[in-house]
Amino acid sequence: MSLRSVPIQGNRDEVDETLSNEVIASSSEKNLTAERMVSDAKVEMKFMVDKCFSDFSERMDSMLAKFDHHITNKITPILGRGYDSSSISASGEAKQSKQDLNNSHFTENIRAKPDIKCKIKPQLYDGSDDLEEYLTQFYLLAELNDWDLRSKALLLASSLTGSARALLNEMTEGERHDFECLVTMLKSRFGSINRSEVFRAELQTRVRLRNESLPELAQAIKKLTRRAYPGTSPIVSDTLALDYFIDAITETDIRLRLREVGPKTIYEAENIAVRLEALRLDI
């Protein structure tokens, strides 16, 4: 009912009260209408958001399904046996016999790209350092990074520099991708087996250098002994290193004292020599 249709009856207070009641009723109706509009808007927004998330989930599921299908059909090499026959059949890329796959082991391995995970990269090797020490560290890195044979071959070949890198040109493509073959070639060129006579001659003439500490001398003697007598047992190698270490000490009194005490290992001789030298300097 509009304000104009209200009949003016009674006194002025009654008229004011009637007008006030109608204004309040009109305001309440407007508030209810606004609340319904806000509620409807919230419901519509929630529906739109749910639809967006639903569409996004469907697209992600479709993409993951395609990715899983691609990984499942991917050909994976089996070390020492070529490729898995079931994977080859699924991909439809090869129909050769198992014998053909074994004969093309190197060629197929070269084509495949390994997934190399490298937490710590190996250091460079130029042929001047001890190859056995370098390979020992390389084996530890390979175990830490969980490398397979092909990954080890690629990383070892890429770590060669100087004269060691020139060795790669003397190898065939298949040999460069074969880890055991690569290690064999490195040992043949830079290993201690073919140069043991040279290291023995150096070991026999090795003496303590000027400003060289006794621990440094002991370490050098142990390294030379290992290279001069490759393949010997640790007990024999330690006994030889002990004798060469005592002979390499230029101080006669320390050398004679060590012979008198008779240490059992080079580590024991090193500790005794360090104490004797300290007492000698204090006097």
Domain residues for the domain of 31 are 1-72
Residue at 205 is within a domain: yes
Which alpha helices (DSSP H) does 97-233 contain, by range?
A: 98-103, 105-111, 131-145, 149-158, 163-166, 173-176, 179-190, 196-204, 214-228
Asked if 242 and 271 count as a contact pair (C-beta separation under 8 A), the reply is no
Give domain status of residue 141, yes or no.
Answer: yes
- Total domains, the chain: 4
Tell me, yes or no, whether 79 and 67 share the same domain. no
Pairwise CA distance, residues 259 & 158, whole Å:
48
The answer to whether 167 and 175 have CB atoms below 8 angstroms apart is no
DSSP state of 231: T
Q: Is there a single domain that holds both residue 96 and residue 171?
A: no
CATH code, domain with 217: 1.10.1200
Residue 247 in any domain: the answer is yes
**Does any domain span residue 220?**
yes
Q: Report the b/e string of 200-233 with b at 16+ CB within 10 A.
A: beebeebebeeeeebeebbebbbbbbbbbbbeee
In a domain, 125, yes or no: no
181, 175 contact by CB (below 8 A): yes
Q: Does 121 reside within a domain? A: no
Let me know whether 222 and 146 are in one domain: no
Do 68 and 79 sit in the same domain of this protein? no
Q: What is the pLDDT along the chain (283 residues), one digit of tens a residue?
A: 444 444 544 555 565 666 666 656 666 666 677 777 777 777 777 777 777 767 767 777 777 777 666 555 544 444 444 444 444 444 444 444 444 444 444 444 445 555 666 677 888 988 888 888 889 899 999 888 888 898 899 999 999 998 888 888 888 888 888 999 998 888 888 877 777 788 888 898 999 998 999 999 999 999 889 888 887 888 998 999 999 999 999 998 999 999 999 999 999 999 999 999 888 766 5
Question: Is residue 200 domain-shared with residue 173, that is, in the same domain?
Answer: no
Are residues 104 and 92 located together in one domain of the fold? Answer: yes
Rounded to a whole number of angstroms, the CA Rg of the chain reads: 42
C-alpha to C-alpha distance for 191 and 202, rounded to whole angstroms: 16
Do 205 and 187 share a domain, yes or no?
no
- Asked whether residue 120 is domain-assigned, the answer is no
At 183, list the tokens.
């290690």
Q: Do both 231 and 247 map to the same domain?
A: yes
